Structure 1
Amino acid sequence: MTERQAIFPPDKHALYEAHGYSAAIRSGDLLFVSGQVGSRTDGTPEPDFEQQVRLAFTNLEATLSAAGCTFDDLVDVTSFHTDPENQFPTIMAVKQEVFSKQPYPNWTAIGVTWLSGFDFEIKVIARIPAGA
């Protein structure tokens, strides 16, 4: 049986301790990343929506990097949105910056009513490169 290894970015935010979860779990050559939000270091949400989305991607990138991965290693993405109809133009603009070339990872977007004070969350599965 493959052992699970908890992965945290160097500057992990307070939400991991406050809510008792790991930023990511490595299992074999797969990395399962918990939902990343636009959280400041103290665990509070970034109030500006575009900056919250950007910070969620920054937090995601830091977690991926801690496991030796990049955005190119993503195979599955799920995002959660509190107001998809109005938020999508902003999210798509940031997404296009992050994923500027094909092949794109598969992506499922889900509208939700509550994200604990946040308006955007992104969780992913990545394949860890050999030797990482």
Structure 2
Amino acid sequence: MHSCFHTQFASLKLPHFFAPKSFVASSRRDLRVFAMATSMEEASVSIAAAPISLPEGSWKQIAGGVTAAKGFKAAGMYAGLRASGKKPDLALVTCDVDAVAAGVFTMNVVAAAPVVYCKKVLETSKTARAVLINAGQANA
């Protein structure tokens, strides 16, 4: 799973995405949006919980997950990025104010365009208001 940071605000109020829609992303590829969650309750029934793999210690899970902190919102959807299966594979996390941004990237000499782009963005800005996260794109 990779993430990319950009200092743009994004709205999550997209009720017209609940029904199946088809959008042409380019002349060569279609993007199909099948579902989107705009609340934690809705997301909890369509997005499987991530495994909790924390090192030993006095950790505790906080109710609300990524949206527990004031000003954070999250949404997930199926965008068809995975090679197989129809699980949610695209997520958006937003913050009402500028937040500290950081990234962890491959150390491989060969890096995909999203990795190069994200590194460049983080060189120019250390804050972000939104993070777009994709899954199903190994080493990209």
TM-score above 0.5, yes or no: no
Structure ID, larger Rg: 2
Q: TM-score normalised to the size of structure 2?
A: 0.31
- Between structures 1 and 2, the one with greater helix share: 1
Normalised to the residue count of structure 1, the TM-score between the two structures is 0.32
